């Protein structure tokens, strides 16, 4: 386990400027089309994270808990360096392995082999590292010659095998996960689960954003509750889960 890994967030905010259209009725769209007048776009700011401060140290298995839209994925993306905060500071010390946003980096027209490289770069691997592990990744997928075919010809189970094989061939001191990736058929699932367990055991830090109470309880040792982009509680798993589940026994 890496003892150097740590993450410090201070007063982090993430906002998205979006344009919304106040009146999208059929009538108003017809009038706009006939008069060539454009429907007024209304600028709007969505605040996904607000004033988030957090210290995560080696040995922490942190669960991010919260309702839909609370900001969990946005927080993972900030930790992964995909989003830069609009306010506050983010200090991530250690290499991140991003095992969420499963479809990011894939190209439907590229072959399985080409996609191994694309996806590897997206999750944080270096090109030389992917090249060195190409054969091992290919073997883990058990897809054989199908790796020479374009991704659009893959079934969803085959696609998941590829995603998982790439993800687990790369080491990370900090592992960022949303759900435990449930992959393929029974035989592959067992092999995948074992590999993921090893990765998590080796990681200095695990951050897991999930709605799965059993997974959180079996994996994490501390938790935060996100509500409308803010951390409203931090503490033990039982404490945070019972608060999240509305006082029901977790
Ligand atoms: N790219 C974006 N543009 C505009 N708004 C966004 C964007 N990404 C996220 N949001 C908004 O930010 C808020 C937090 O979204 P986020 O995906 O982080 O929530 P979440 O807790 O992961 O939700 P879920 O449990 O449903 O996956 C939501 O209101 C969402 O609509």
Q: What CATH code is carried by the domain that includes residue 41? A: 3.40.50.300
Per-residue pLDDT at 200 exceeds 70: yes
Cα 100 from Cα 79, distance rounded (Å) = 12
Is 84 inside any structural domain?
Answer: yes
Q: How many CA atoms lie within 13 A of 118 on its CB side?
A: 17
Is 226 inside any structural domain?
Answer: yes
Determine which residue's CA is closest to atom 30 belonging to ligand 1.
Answer: 69
What DSSP string runs through 62-128?
EEEE--TTSSHHHHHHHHHTSS--SEEEEEEES-EEEE-STTTT--TTSBHHHHHHHHHHHTT--HH
Query: How many domains are contained in the chain?
Result: 1
Cα 175 from Cα 80, distance rounded (Å) = 9
Is 89 inside any structural domain?
Answer: yes
Q: Among residues 208, 155, 210, which one has the least CA distance to residue 185?
A: 155
Is 40 inside any structural domain?
Answer: yes
Pocket residue to mutate for ligand 1, from 12, 14, 73, most atoms within 8 A of Cβ: 73
Answer yes or no: is the C-beta of 69 below 6 A from any ligand 1 atom. yes
Atom of ligand 1 nearest to the CA of 64: 21
Is 175 inside any structural domain?
Answer: no
Answer yes or no: is the C-beta of 78 below 6 A from any ligand 1 atom. no
At residue 225, the 3 state secondary structure works out as: strand
Domain encompassing residue 220: 6-95+208-244
Is 132 inside any structural domain?
Answer: no
Please give the model's pTM, rounded to 2 decimal places: 0.83
Per-residue pLDDT at 247 exceeds 70: no
Is 240 inside any structural domain?
Answer: yes
Is 118 inside any structural domain?
Answer: no
Per-residue pLDDT at 10 exceeds 90: yes
- Span of 37-46, 83-92, 161-170, 195-204 with lowest mean pLDDT: 37-46
Per-residue pLDDT at 66 exceeds 80: yes
Determine which residue's CA is closest to atom 12 belonging to ligand 1.
Answer: 48
At residue 19, the 3 state secondary structure works out as: strand
């Amino acid at each position: 386990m890496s003892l150097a890994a740590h993450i410090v967030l201070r007063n982090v905010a993430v906002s998205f400027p979006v344009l919304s259209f106040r009146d999208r009725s059929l009538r108003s769209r017809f009038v706009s089309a006939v008069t060539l007048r454009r429907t007024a776009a209304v600028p709007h700011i969505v605040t996904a994270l607000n004033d988030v401060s957090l210290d995560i140290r080696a040995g922490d298995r942190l669960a991010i808990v919260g309702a839909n839209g609370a900001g969990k994925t946005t927080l993972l993306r900030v930790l992964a360096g995909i989003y830069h905060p609009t306010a506050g500071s983010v200090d991530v010390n250690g290499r991140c392995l991003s095992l969420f946003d499963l479809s990011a980096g894939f190209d439907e027209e590229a072959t399985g082999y080409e996609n191994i490289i694309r996806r590897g770069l997206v999750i944080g691997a270096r090109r030389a590292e992917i090249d060195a592990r190409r054969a091992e990744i290919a073997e883990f997928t058990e897809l054989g010659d199908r790796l020479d075919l374009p991704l659009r010809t893959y079934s969803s189970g085959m696609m998941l095998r590829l995603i998982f094989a790439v993800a687990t061939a790369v080491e990370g001191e900090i592992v960022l996960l949303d759900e435990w990736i449930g992959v393929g058929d029974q035989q592959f699932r067992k092999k995948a689960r074992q590999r993921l367990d090893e990765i998590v055991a080796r990681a200095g830090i695990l951050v897991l954003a999930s709605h799965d109470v059993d997974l959180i309880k079996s994996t994490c040792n501390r938790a935060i509750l996100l509500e409308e982009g803010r951390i409203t509680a931090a503490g033990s798993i039982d404490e945070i889960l019972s608060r999240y589940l509305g006082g029901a026994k977790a």
